[in-house]
Structure 1
Amino acid sequence: MLGCIIQARMGSTRLPGKVLELVDGKNPSLLYTINQLKESKYLKKIIVATTTNPEDNVIFDFCQKIDIDIFRGDPENVLSRYYECAKSFHLSSILRVTGDCPLIDPKIVDQGISKFLENKYDYVTNTFPRSFPDGNETEIFSFDTLELAHKNARLPSEREHVTPYIRNNKQQFKIYNFSYSENISNLRWTLDYDVDLKLINEIILKINTRPIHLEDILNLFKSEPNLKKINQDHKPNEGYMKSLKDDEEFTRNSSS
């Protein structure tokens, strides 16, 4: 079975509690992520994977309230959390989504899933290299691929960000990257900072159709170009860049 695992926690260092921030004045970001993904033609199950930390009890309670499957696992080793979650729900293939993507486009998700299903790829993504706006990261992989990563990943970044082991060992896996027609990865509508929340609020309030698609947001930016300047000072992958620095320290300590 193909299922989506959404990683979500309250303990974000940049914007604590962001997954339950109200992005339209009344509904939390995580609900938008879930509702966008429900529009996928392929997903059979959506699971939120949070941590065992007491502060994440509110995520557990929220998912129970809206009748979404919930799994609790390792707070730091997110790769382990994904593996144990996928094993618990008997998933053969996994779509990985982070809980800070309330405007993830289900059409982009389905583009990746269809490529994965029609071909015998181990890992399909749109992040290697990036061309889509930040907040539309799509990664699909088989359970066997996840299991190999879980058994062999050693670096902190590989444990925290789930899929770097696959990309770091591309000779072991059949990988496909799908791209947008042009590189617009400088745009972002992920939720990491207060300015991101401000932009996402504007997008949701100004676009009336649901689900919200990439083209809807691009058209909005054409008519109101100042909107995309709201959060332009932040770059994609800032959290991953920090993890790479942790890798350097880990490698030094391991060799000493």
Structure 2
Amino acid sequence: MILTIVQARMGSKRLPGKALASLHGQPMIWRQLERLRGARCGAKVVVATSCEASDDPLAGWLVSQGQAVFRGAPTDLLDRFTRCALSAGPVSHVVRIKGDAPFVDGRLVDEAVRLAWTTGAAYVSNREPASYPAGLEVEVVTMSALAEVAAEPRETLARVSPTAAIRSRPDRFRQASFRHPRDLSGFDWRVKTAADLAFARSVYAALHPADPDFGLEDVLDLVGGGIDLASYAAA
């Protein structure tokens, strides 16, 4: 089984509660999950959040919507990520998605999973070398590699990033990557601030009604077409 884990928390310092912030009539996390369901690789999707009380509203809302949730260590993301994968049952590959990415594209998930299968790589991503806008990163790791590094003593970096110990060791873990034909790494479409959320709301208001599965090129056409995004309602 392929498992997609979305890391999400409510405790952002710059934009607290952003996972449940409204984005075109639904919480941002729900819009992200909708887009991930468009992937054809058949991955099961779980939201991994912390066991802290501050994340109770997020976990409670998701469970009320029938969404699978795993709760684990607040600061040791490698531990939380690994335990989440192990609790899901027999898993061959794990897809990592961050929870501040409302423009995540299921097509990129499919491409990453396809590359993981065809190459046999332990780690696949589109982040190195960077060519996609920030917020469209996809990482795929084998369950065997993840379990291996999780069982070892680790430094701080490995705790705050569940894939750092794997991607930093290409000599030990075979790696593969894919990139966009153009260098779009100058764009940052993550939601980390109120301004970022306003941008996401404007884009969703412009594109979502006609095509809920709008893609990267649609957003590029919108932002590069001289359209006044402020004219769209921040729904």
TM-score by length of structure 2 reads: 0.92
Matches of residues 91-130 of structure 1 in structure 2 within 5 Å? 91-130=91-130
Give the Cα–Cα distance (whole angstroms) in 1 for the partners of residues 162 and 149 of structure 2: 8
Contact between 2:119 and 2:176, CA under 8 Å: does it hold in 1?
A: no
Indicate the residue corresponding to 1:234 in structure 2.
none
Q: Matched residue pairs, number?
A: 226
Indicate the residue corresponding to 1:145 in structure 2.
145
Residue type at the aligned position of 1:215: E
Contact between 1:153 and 1:165, CA under 8 Å: does it hold in 2?
A: no
Contact between 2:41 and 2:110, CA under 8 Å: does it hold in 1?
A: yes
Indicate the residue corresponding to 1:39 in structure 2.
38
Greater fraction helix: 1
User: Helix, strand or coil for the counterpart of 1:68?
Assistant: coil
Quick one: which of 188, 212, 215 aligns to 1:213? 215
Contact between 2:134 and 2:188, CA under 8 Å: does it hold in 1?
A: yes
Contact between 1:101 and 1:136, CA under 8 Å: does it hold in 2?
A: yes
Give the Cα–Cα distance (whole angstroms) in 1 for the partners of residues 132 and 42 of structure 2: 21
Indicate the residue corresponding to 1:254 in structure 2.
none
Residue type at the aligned position of 1:209: D
Contact between 2:123 and 2:167, CA under 8 Å: does it hold in 1?
A: no
- Whether 2:6 is the aligned partner of 1:6: answer yes
Give the Cα–Cα distance (whole angstroms) in 1 for the partners of residues 52 and 155 of structure 2: 23
Residue type at the aligned position of 1:221: V
Give the Cα–Cα distance (whole angstroms) in 2 for the partners of residues 225 and 153 of structure 1: 51
Indicate the residue corresponding to 2:68 in structure 1.
69
Distance 1:14 1:155, change over 3 A: farther
Indicate the residue corresponding to 1:171 in structure 2.
171
Matches of residues 42-57 of structure 1 in structure 2 within 5 Å? 42-57=41-56
Distance 1:226 1:180, change over 3 A: farther
Indicate the residue corresponding to 1:238 in structure 2.
none
Aligned-pair distance for 1:225? Answer: 6.3
Matches of residues 21-40 of structure 1 in structure 2 within 5 Å? 21-24=21-24, 26-40=25-39
Give the Cα–Cα distance (whole angstroms) in 2 for the partners of residues 96 and 58 of structure 1: 22
Give the Cα–Cα distance (whole angstroms) in 1 for the partners of residues 56 and 202 of structure 2: 29
The runs of at least 4 consecutive aligned structure 1 residues that moved more than 4 Å come to none
- RMSD between aligned residues: 1.3
Aligned-pair distance for 1:78? Answer: 0.7
Aligned-pair distance for 1:153? Answer: 5.5
Matches of residues 80-91 of structure 1 in structure 2 within 5 Å? 80-90=79-89, 91=91
Aligned-pair distance for 1:121? Answer: 0.9
Quick one: which of 220, 225, 229 aligns to 1:223? 225
Residues 110-149 of structure 1: CA deviation (Å, up to 9, x unaligned): 1111111222110100111211001101000111111122
Indicate the residue corresponding to 1:180 in structure 2.
180
Distance 1:119 1:16, change over 3 A: same
Residues 7-51 of structure 1: CA deviation (Å, up to 9, x unaligned): 111111221111111122x21110011000000000331100111
Give the Cα–Cα distance (whole angstroms) in 1 for the partners of residues 70 and 92 of structure 2: 17
User: Helix, strand or coil for the counterpart of 1:197?
Assistant: helix
Residue type at the aligned position of 1:114: R
Distance 1:53 1:221, change over 3 A: same
Identical aligned pairs, as a percentage? 29
Aligned-pair distance for 1:60? Answer: 1.3
